[in-house]
């Protein structure tokens, strides 16, 4: 039996129709899609704030919603913790009272220790303060702790990083990873960032216009030419995982399979794994390895997919992990690229952005 | 120059002042729970006939107080629809008593109170209520732990406004409670009586006028102070 099974149809007065069904079996599942694709509605239906036209939602052995049977469990009786896009801490309570709110009002089945939460999220120094006096990152950490302490069987996160700036995002992401490893509470994570999906999720469900258009392991699902649109932020993005990594003064060598990637660094990050991000347009594809070029990184790989889009062609290349290169149709003809072709990818070291 | 003795209030005036304070605070207290309920209903509720509730609540604001008083008199008189029930079931007669003065003040100040509290409820982010419920708090718990504490400034403001309005209540009071010394003769009624008492009534009014001004200012200052103390950590 899966952990969560979800099947709902809902018609909004404006005409938007949500028709989504999926199962969750993995520790961290991501709901991915452009804004307006219905991600937040799915969360609202699971948490009990949206009463869909028809459908059923089961969490473990508990039925949360069954329109056929007229069953609609109110939100407070569902063991579902929510981390909202904006922290939504109670402004009239201290951080400690905020953290304990869920503990106080929900009978616990899964017990989460206050001390552990304070330690893992490093909020000890904030306990006596009011949310108004906290920074954005501190608030979001407290909000995550508050959801954890309500002892949920499932954690829902509605773009918890969207309102934070880039540097904070990566730090909170680190905290989220710790939370996932520490408590192993199944998590459904809504985002429109590919980097977040690839870092956190074991499974991804891709939504578009209220429908599931793809699902699978992040690598696979996000590299399929399915209809997310290629020429926008939803299009292919590259995120390579380097593990292990060796650090030297000002740069790092990370392994991808049996190849090595050179990454310039401004400061030494915490350690492996290291994630690097770059756009498909930064990748130069060669039929043979070349010498005497400035590009530091030469990765050997095999073409696995070719997707023409308007005036460009996206080429998926397996270098141990899949990466995407964007080239012209002429280049494809000239290099005689086809699935199976062996190629070398050139990557300028400075086109790589480290995602901590 | 006025002689010093004329600054001190006469017994009759003391009694009016004391009665006014009692009537106004009782009216504001008695109106509060109902005002909170009605304000919450109007701020958050979506139901058929909401406009009707709104109209009825606001009626005393636009009706001449004398008309409000007349309607109360009709309802609460021993033969009226409410008065007869009170009399036969509980043996209680309301009209021309201090209770009637409280009733009149409460009804007339009610819309002001509802308005202030309703605005405060509307200013509470409903998503905080959603968050509370996702943490296991039921509707009622959410209301008492999140909505109400966050709206308390509006409640204080509403209470003060109702208190100040009750202090000044005249028209409805004189209709339903009459002008009985020590029982229903509040400051405005005493001022009215003095002003109609020749030859020196007009000049004797000024002390009570001064008292009224001081009370009104005091209420404003107190509500301002309370508001400031409570808002310290929530801003920023």
**Buried b vs exposed e over A54-79: b needs ≥16 C-beta within 10 Å?**
ebbbbbeeeebbebeeeeebebbebb
Give pLDDT, residue A209.
86
Same domain, yes or no: A156 and A15: yes
**Domain spans, chain B:** 11-228
Alpha carbons B201 and B7: distance in angstroms, whole number: 15
Which positions in chain B touch A98 (Cβ < 8 Å)? none
Q: Choose one of A205, A231, A257: the last residue of a domain.
A: A231
Alpha carbons A154 and B78: distance in angstroms, whole number: 62
Tokens linked to B33: 């729970």
Give pLDDT, residue B93.
84
Please check the confidence at residue A230 and state whether its pLDDT lies above 60. no
Give pLDDT, residue A269.
65
Give pLDDT, residue A89.
94
> If you average pLDDT over each of A27-31, A180-184, A264-268, which comes out highest?
A27-31
ipTM confidence: 0.80
Q: Residue B136 and residue A49: Cβ atoms within 8 Å?
A: no
- Write the pLDDT tens digit of every residue in B102-127: 999 999 999 999 999 999 999 999 99
Pinpoint the alpha helices (H) of chain A. Answer: 39-47, 95-105, 114-121, 136-149, 166-183, 194-200, 218-223, 329-334
Same domain, yes or no: A213 and A315: no
Out of A80, A86, A92, name the one closest to residue B134 (CB). A80
Please check the confidence at residue B4 and state whether its pLDDT lies above 60. no
Same domain, yes or no: A195 and A329: no
Same domain, yes or no: A249 and A173: no
Please check the confidence at residue A240 and state whether its pLDDT lies above 80. yes
Same domain, yes or no: A195 and A51: yes
Same domain, yes or no: A218 and A261: no
- Write the pLDDT tens digit of every residue in A294-353: 888 899 999 988 888 777 888 889 888 888 888 999 998 999 998 999 999 999 888 888
Q: Choose one of A231, A253, A280: the last residue of a domain.
A: A231
pTM above 0.80, yes or no: no
Alpha carbons A284 and A264: distance in angstroms, whole number: 19
Q: What is the CA radius of gyration of chain B?
A: 21
Best mutation target, A74, A80, A89, A91, to test chain B (most B CBs within 10 A): A91
Q: What is the CATH number of the domain that holds A337?
A: 2.40.50.100
Q: Residue B234 and residue A75: Cβ atoms within 8 Å?
A: no
Same domain, yes or no: A261 and A199: no
Same domain, yes or no: A243 and A224: no
Pinpoint the alpha helices (H) of A188-343. Answer: 194-200, 218-223, 329-334
**Structural domain count of chain A:** 2
Q: Residue A133 and residue B236: Cβ atoms within 8 Å?
A: yes
Please check the confidence at residue A101 and state whether its pLDDT lies above 60. yes
Same domain, yes or no: A202 and A54: yes
Q: Residue B137 and residue A133: Cβ atoms within 8 Å?
A: no
Q: What is the CATH number of the domain that holds A186?
A: 3.40.50.300
Torsion of CA A138, A140, A145, A150, to 10 degrees: 140
Out of B127, B137, B150, name the one closest to residue A88 (CB). B127
Out of B128, B138, B141, name the one closest to residue A90 (CB). B128
Residue range B168-177: mean pLDDT, rounded = 91
| CATH 1.10.3720.10 assigned to B11-228 | yes
Give pLDDT, residue B210.
87
Same domain, yes or no: A84 and A190: yes
Same domain, yes or no: A153 and A287: no
Q: Residue A10: give the domain boundaries.
A: 4-231
Please check the confidence at residue A56 and state whether its pLDDT lies above 80. yes
For A270, the enclosing helix (H) or strand (E) is none
Q: Is B120 near chain A, with CB under 8 Å?
A: no
pLDDT confidence tier of residue B99, bands split at 50, 70 and 90: very high
Mean pLDDT, rounded, of chain A: 86
Q: Choose one of A231, A261, A280: the last residue of a domain.
A: A231
Q: Which of A103-107, A320-324, B186-190 has the lowest mean pLDDT?
A: A103-107
Same domain, yes or no: A82 and A185: yes
Alpha carbons B129 and A88: distance in angstroms, whole number: 9
């Amino acid at each position: 039996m899966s952990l969560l099974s979800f099947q709902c149809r809902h018609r909004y007065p404006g005409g938007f129709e949500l028709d989504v069904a999926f199962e969750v079996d993995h520790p961290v599942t991501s709901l991915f899609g452009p804004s307006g694709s219905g991600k937040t509605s799915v969360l609202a239906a699971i948490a009990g704030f949206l009463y869909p036209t028809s459908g059923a939602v089961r969490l473990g052995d508990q039925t949360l919603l069954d329109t056929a049977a007229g069953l609609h469990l109110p939100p407070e009786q569902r063991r579902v913790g929510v981390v909202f896009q904006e922290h939504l801490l109670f402004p009239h309570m201290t951080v400690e009272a905020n953290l304990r709110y869920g503990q106080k009002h929900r009978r616990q089945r899964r017990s989460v220790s206050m001390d552990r939460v304070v330690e893992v999220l490093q909020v000890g120094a904030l306990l006596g303060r009011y949310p108004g006096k906290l920074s954005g990152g501190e608030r979001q950490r407290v909000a995550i702790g508050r959801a954890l302490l309500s002892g949920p069987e499932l954690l829902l996160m509605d773009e918890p990083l969207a309102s934070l700036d880039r540097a904070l995002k990566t730090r909170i992401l680190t905290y989220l990873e710790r939370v996932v490893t520490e408590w192993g509470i199944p998590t459904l994570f809504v985002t429109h960032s590919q980097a977040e999906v690839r870092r956190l999720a074991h499974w991804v469900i891709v939504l578009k216009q209220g429908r599931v258009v793809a699902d699978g392991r992040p690598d696979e699902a996000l590299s399929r030419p399915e209809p997310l649109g290629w020429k926008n932020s939803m299009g292919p993005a590259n995120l390579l995982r380097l593990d292990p990594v060796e650090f030297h003064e000002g740069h790092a060598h990370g392994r991808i399979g049996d190849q090595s990637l050179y990454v310039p660094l401004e400061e030494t990050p915490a350690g492996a794994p290291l994630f690097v991000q770059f756009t498909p347009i930064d990748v130069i594809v060669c039929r043979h390895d070349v010498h005497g070029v400035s590009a530091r990184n030469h990765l050997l790989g095999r073409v696995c997919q070719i997707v023409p889009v308007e005036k460009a062609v996206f080429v998926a290349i397996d270098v141990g992990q899949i990466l995407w290169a964007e080239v012209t149709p002429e280049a494809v003809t000239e290099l005689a690229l086809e699935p199976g072709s062996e190629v070398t990818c050139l990557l300028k070291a400075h086109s790589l952005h480290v995602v901590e | 120059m006025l002689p010093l003795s004329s600054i001190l209030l006469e017994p009759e005036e003391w009694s009016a002042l004391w009665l006014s304070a009692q009537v106004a605070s009782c009216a504001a207290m008695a109106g509060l729970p109902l005002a909170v309920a009605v304000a919450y209903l109007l701020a958050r509720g979506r139901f058929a006939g909401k406009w009707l509730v709104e109209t009825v609540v606001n009626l005393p604001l636009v009706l001449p107080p004398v008309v409000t008083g007349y309607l109360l008199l009709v309802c609460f008189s021993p033969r009226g629809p409410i008065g007869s029930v009170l009399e036969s079931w509980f043996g209680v007669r309301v009209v021309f008593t201090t209770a009637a003065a409280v009733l009149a003040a409460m009804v007339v100040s009610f819309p002001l109170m509802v308005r202030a509290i309703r605005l405060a409820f509307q200013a509470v982010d409903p998503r905080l209520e959603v968050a509370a419920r996702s943490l296991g708090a039921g509707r009622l718990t959410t209301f008492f732990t999140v909505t109400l504490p966050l709206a308390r400034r509006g409640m204080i403001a509403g209470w003060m406004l109702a208190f100040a309005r009750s202090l000044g209540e005249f028209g409805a009071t004189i209709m339903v409670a009459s002008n009985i010394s020590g029982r229903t003769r509040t400051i405005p009624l005493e001022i009215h009586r003095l002003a109609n008492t020749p030859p020196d009534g007009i000049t004797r009014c000024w002390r009570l006028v001064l008292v009224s001004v001081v009370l009104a200012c005091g209420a404003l200052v107190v509500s301002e102070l309370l508001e400031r103390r409570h808002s310290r950590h929530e801003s920023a």
